[in-house]
Amino acid sequence: MEPQTLWSRFLANIRLRRAVVLLILLAVLYYASSMLSLMLLTFIFTFLVLRLVHFIQKYLPIPTSFIVIVTYLLLIFGIYVAVTKYVPQLAYQSESIVDSVLRFYKNPSKDASIILDYVSKYISQNDIQQQLSHGAQWLIKSLSTLSSMGMTLTMSLLLSFFFTFEKEQLFRFFNRFLEGPNAWLFQDTYYFGKIFTRNFGLVIETQLLIAIINTSLTTLCLYFMGISQLLSLALLIFILSLIPVAGVIISAIPLSFIAYYAGGIRDVIYVLIMLVVVHALESYLLNPKLMSSRTELPIFLTFVTLYVSEHFFGVWGLLVGVPTLLFIIEVLGVNYSDKKRQ
């Protein structure tokens, strides 16, 4: 059989052709796994801003470029206020905590003598230099991780801004790839991208709802604890809650400092208990229940997917796991829902 005939038959076989394209896309994603955080954050920002644009334009005839510019200016201003306001406050409160620990060590109470004796014995029986070395390595690694996260966040904001600002021009440009002799490759890529984007957007909307619930519960608890500046704290908690599960853990650091400064170690314990309850509520109730209701998947299957994806892919697995499952089900042609998917 002639090569041209084989190639024509391959192009005519849509299922085989799409299977090959899917394998190519998976290979590209595997080799670009180091950029996964950048790609996902860019998609999240782009999706949320475009949904905001569509929502506003439904009621007001405002140009897309104006809405995008105002949205990102407000976002940058919010980040600036958070950094300039909370970083000095956290630094001051951290210094207060260190001073309190030093005063406790220099002038211990009688009840603390047993603890100090145990700490001194532990230090004396271990290699101090090795402990300091491990501590320095952990500190350097943490600082480099924070720096990398900051760079990733900055780049994702920048990329999402240019994408949303030039959305029409970009769509017109990419539509040109859907024509020509190699259009089949881009058509199949668009087919898979459309399925995954729709399902991933559904998960983002669900995570946004979870973030609102988490923020409301946490802010209400902080109110009853008598902690001030609730509006600023609510904004911080909401932003961190957009990060599935891990956002609750990250928020424990600033909230613990603020609670210690406001009411001492007792309030810190209250905050940690509150965050553990919220974390359990999100992981074992909100995420599976809301995901299953929005995606029309059984709760058991949703829960297992979230657990397995978080185990293998970490925090991002909680966002990618369910849309990946929906993507696989839809590509296989399984009609798992009685409702017509939009």
- The pLDDT of residue 68: 92
Q: Read off the amino acid at residue 228.
A: S
- The pLDDT of residue 259: 77
State pLDDT tens for residues 265-303. Answer: 788 888 888 888 887 777 777 777 777 777 777 777 877
Q: Which tokens go with 19? A: 């299977």
pTM (2 decimals)? Answer: 0.68
State pLDDT tens for residues 163-205. Answer: 998 888 888 898 888 887 888 899 999 999 898 888 888 888 8
* 270-296 core/surface letters (b: 16 or more CB in 10 A; e: else): bbeebbeebbebbbeebbbebbbeebe
Going from the C-alpha of 298 to that of each of 86, 128, 198, 338, the distances in angstroms are 42, 53, 19, 13
Got the DSSP string for 118-150?
Answer: HHHHHHHTS-HHHHHHHHHHHHHHHHHHHHHHH
Residue 242 and residue 221: Cα distance in Å, rounded?
19
* Whether 152 contacts 37, CB under 8 Å: yes
**Which residue is associated with the tokens 């394998």?**
23
- Sign for the CA dihedral angle at 131, 136, 137, 142 comes to positive
Say which residues have a Cβ less than 8 Å from residue 240's Cβ, sequence separation at least 6.
247, 248, 250, 251
